[in-house]
Chains A and B, each alone.
Chain A
């Protein structure tokens, strides 16, 4: 087997093992979107009237509307979680093992990205299965069509996590990531409300939402789940994924990892 394939399998397997060893993490990662789905959506259902907007062809309940957004939420939180574990790995030293391997660094980091994205997607499908039990279903083919969208969104958000981890020097700084990255990204997007609703209240916020790559990740997922294609969202998400990945690889260059870092 080629060294590249060998390392990819090993890194993905390690991520999977790590995940199995932390079953609480799996439950926690599922509880978060489920709380939104069952509690928040139930409360908001009455308050929020939704008109028919693509890709939907009929009136939908609020629960139905937020399911794609909550899939995005799982990918977003997992991307940040893997960033946290990278910072932890660096503090604990096991990151050094990866960075001193003779295989190219970009490849090893890319393997990590694939590993964490695979775990995220597993969680997304578990969530969709639970949502289906509670009556929110998509066309059967939509579940398959959405897989490439999950991969693109997962890689995009994982790469963002990777990028952040190259700049965060200490675990303690991670709370800042929650406040300044996760929450704004999630709330300034189309995950919880359609953008035209946002435009009604503030044009500025609407513009920010429309530029937010997370919005496009969510829309890509939403359209794919209903067997439609959203070219704009695809281009934006791919572009963001590429930019985040390149920036993250730059962030992990050997000359940069230590420069300015006094030990």
Chain B
């Protein structure tokens, strides 16, 4: 399978379980929203998916590569947008992307070509020379998403990428990333904002360290708005 697959993943901080038997799959080229209240385990799941943490139990496959067995091949297929901004604010957008490309072993003309293409996809090409510090929140995010695309990842992870952005910037970024999944990238988008999820999107609801429900958003909600459905689901198990 070419997308993202997580099976039977568990993790605990000391005795406090953060994830228990989490399993789900995102088929290649699909957009999957990972919805969960604060403390549901989203950040832990992201840390495990990006190998910042490792767990002795469970498996993660990224574009067919097992993260535990061939971590470098798996990470090479993974694009990541962290919740916190990880741009070097003193560097220009292009310098930031160049640094990232080099961390993936990409340099020279190849790097320039890929960086231009990635920035263009996010409509950020004309800002390539600007210092990251001078960009507004929405543009910083777009620069980070472009950066995550430089090495042509098969799977893109975004951890609450719209936090702190205004409505217009949020809508623009949500749309950009949906378009990426239409073009074939597998997307896992963690959020606690239900209006960022469309009816055709895959949905995984994480609650209290477990997967509460998974499927297509439309199938799960029916006629009920997702926000309402989400509250009912998380409240009934509270």
Tell me the A residues contacting B by CB distance below 8 Å.
1-4, 6-7, 9-11, 14, 17-18, 21, 92-94, 96-104, 108, 254-255, 257-263
Can you give 6 A-B contacts (C-beta < 8 A)?
A: A3-B104, A9-B102, A92-B86, A104-B72, A255-B53, A260-B14
Contact A96 B91 (CB under 8 A): no
Task: State whether the Cβ of B216 lies closer than 8 Å to any Cβ in chain A.
Answer: no
* Chain A positions within 8 Å of B1 at CB level: none
CB of B105 within 8 A of CB of A103, answer yes
CA distance A93 to B85 in the complex (A): 7
Contact of B57 with A by CB under 8 A? no
B73 within 8 A of A: yes
B182 at the interface (CB under 8 A from A): no
Name the distance in Å between A112's Cβ and chain B's nearest Cβ.
Answer: 11
Q: Are A254 and B51 neighbours in the complex by a CB distance under 8 Å?
A: yes
Residue ID in chain B nearest A4 by CB atoms? B105
Complex CA–CA separation, A99 to B54 (angstroms): 13
Q: Give the nearest-CB partner of A99 in chain B.
A: B52
Chain A: CB-nearest residue to B39: A263
Would you call A96 and B82 a contact (CB within 8 A)? Answer: yes
Which B residues lie at the A interface, using CB under 8 A?
13-14, 16, 43-44, 47, 50-54, 72-73, 75-76, 78, 80, 82-88, 90-91, 95, 98-100, 102-108
Interface SS majority for chain A? helix
Shortest C-beta distance, A255 to chain B (Å), equals 5
Q: Which of A6, A11, A93 contacts B105 (CB 8 A)?
A: A6
Are B106 and A6 within 8 A (Cβ)? Answer: yes
Decide: A101 and B106 in contact? CB cutoff 8 A: no
Is the beta-carbon distance between A96 and B104 smaller than 8 angstroms? no
Contact B14 A101 (CB under 8 A): no
CA of A256 to CA of B213, assembled, Å: 31
Q: What residues of chain B lie closer than 8 Å to A9, measured between beta carbons?
A: 102, 107
Query: How far apart are the CA atoms of A4 and B52 in the complex, in Å?
Result: 21
* Interchain CB contact under 8 A, A3 and B86: no
Which A residues are in CB contact (< 8 Å) with B83?
A: 93
- Which of chain B's residues has its CB closest to A262's CB? B13
